[in-house]
Amino acid sequence: MKVTFLAALLIALSLWLAWTPDLPRERLLHNYAVSGTSQVVAGEQPYFLQDTGPRDAPTMVLLHGFGASLQTWDAWSAELDKQWRVVRIDVPAFGLTGPAVNNDYSDAADVARLAALLDHLGLQQVVLGGHSMGGRIAWNFAAAHPERVSHLVLVSPDGFPDPRAASEFTYQVSPWLGLMRYSLPAWALKMAVAPAYADASKPSSATLQRYQDMMRAPGVRAALIERMRQSRNSDPVPRLQSLGMPVLLVWGEKDTFIPISNAQDYLKAIPQARLATIPQAGHVVHEEAPLLSVQAVKAFLNEYI
């Protein structure tokens, strides 16, 4: 009886010590709302975004990857908004945008929400860029609305199913993952984020703090678990083959999340696409090698605009 009681007490104490509740939205806004950030509502969906650069310039919209937030593009934006209007958004389920109001995280819902946001911002045609999950949203949107995307920039994009997948589900969501809603200690987050870099020591303490803070934004952890549950594998080739605009693929040579060998699938499906490889960079190439990767983007866009 005493052993059982002590074990229960230790478990309760461990959970209490590891308890990481959502952070107040006001605190996050105070820490992360800088010049150019705003909050809008498009099609009933609230968005947190950053809009910088000259308003009369061509516009580039950037979509972050899973678990990230618009700040992942800070270094790119600092270079691009000298010449471009750059709009970065917290994708629904993440950051200060938070959960999707309709709880729908299907590809079709992502496309419809992005169309509504561009309409709200008065953007009829944009250069669209996305990383990983954001890349999947970007190419799906470009396939559905080709007239609205002049150029497409895909950074280690998601889209092709893992050949080892045992079902239509993209992720196998363990019931244990639900504990993340209550406990997200810094050491656990570092274990999840660091492998996205070729150099696991590369993410700074400030970067890791940002990732943890944004994961603790109100409702985000439950929303990202729901997004994982709703993600389904599908054959992307017909949609990719329909893309007619210029396409740039940017890939870190040391990417272990979506290996650079996957780029060949995209090049085969999109004949006009070109590939820029970044040495000694992993999955978050735009964070790990921002200058090299953004220079490839600028060179690509300057050929056309």
pLDDT digits (tens, 9 = 90+) for 128-160: 999 999 999 999 999 999 999 999 999 999 999
Tell me if residue 6 falls in helix, strand or coil: helix
pLDDT over threshold 70, residue 11: no
pLDDT over threshold 70, residue 5: no
pLDDT over threshold 70, residue 9: no
Instruction: Read off the pLDDT of each residue in 82-87 and give the average, rounded to a whole number.
Output: 96
pLDDT over threshold 50, residue 7: no
The torsion angles phi and psi of 77, rounded to 5 degrees, stand at -60, -40
Instruction: Read off the pLDDT of each residue in 252-264 and give the average, rounded to a whole number.
Output: 96
Instruction: Read off the pLDDT of each residue in 263-281 and give the average, rounded to a whole number.
Output: 97
| 5 domain-assigned | no
Residue-level pLDDT at 172: 75
Looking at residue 20, what DSSP letter applies? -
pLDDT over threshold 90, residue 175: no
Instruction: Read off the pLDDT of each residue in 203-208 and give the average, rounded to a whole number.
Output: 94
Q: How far apart are CA 305 and CA 301, in angstroms?
A: 6
Q: CA distances (Å), 3 to each of 7, 16, 17, in order?
A: 6, 20, 21
Domain that holds residue 62: 25-302
| 62 domain-assigned | yes
Q: How far apart are CA 50 and CA 143, in angstroms?
A: 25
Instruction: Read off the pLDDT of each residue in 87-116 and give the average, rounded to a whole number.
Output: 97
Name the domain count of the chain.
Answer: 1
Q: How far apart are CA 43 and CA 116, in angstroms?
A: 6
pLDDT over threshold 60, residue 256: yes
Residue-level pLDDT at 110: 98
| 19 domain-assigned | no
The residue with greater pLDDT, 167 or 233, is 233
Q: How far apart are CA 91 and CA 111, in angstroms?
A: 11
| 14 domain-assigned | no
| 264 domain-assigned | yes
Which pair of tokens denotes residue 44? 């009933």
Which pair of tokens denotes residue 132? 């990983």
Residue-level pLDDT at 80: 97
pLDDT over threshold 80, residue 176: no
DSSP 48-88: EEEEES-TTS-EEEEE--TT--GGGGHHHHHHHTTTSEEEE
Residue-level pLDDT at 166: 67
Handedness of CA 92, 94, 97, 98 (dihedral sign): positive
| 12 domain-assigned | no
* Burial call 251-289: b when 16+ CB within 10 Å, e when fewer: bbebbeebebebbeebeebbeebebbbbeebbbbbbbbb
Q: Give the H or E element holding residue 155.
A: strand 149-155
pLDDT over threshold 50, residue 14: no
Residue-level pLDDT at 181: 84
| 207 domain-assigned | yes
For 173, residues 6+ apart whose C-beta sits below 8 A from its C-beta are 225, 228, 229
- Range in 5-9, 115-119, 165-169 with the lowest mean pLDDT: 5-9
Where helices occur in 96-144 by DSSP H, the ranges are: 107-121, 133-144
| 249 domain-assigned | yes
Query: Taking the CB of residue 17, how many other CB atoms lie within 10 A of it?
Result: 9
User: Is the whole-model pTM more than 0.95?
Assistant: no
Q: Which CATH number fits the domain that encloses residue 63?
A: 3.40.50.1820
For 43-80, what is each residue's pLDDT tens digit? 999 999 999 999 999 999 999 999 999 999 999 999 99
Where helices occur in 132-283 by DSSP H, the ranges are: 133-144, 186-193, 205-215, 220-230, 237-241, 263-269
Residue 164 pLDDT grade (very low, low, confident, very high; cuts 50, 70, 90): confident
Residue 1 pLDDT grade (very low, low, confident, very high; cuts 50, 70, 90): very low
Nearest-Å Rg of the Cα atoms of the chain is 20
Tell me if residue 292 falls in helix, strand or coil: helix
Instruction: Read off the pLDDT of each residue in 235-253 and give the average, rounded to a whole number.
Output: 97
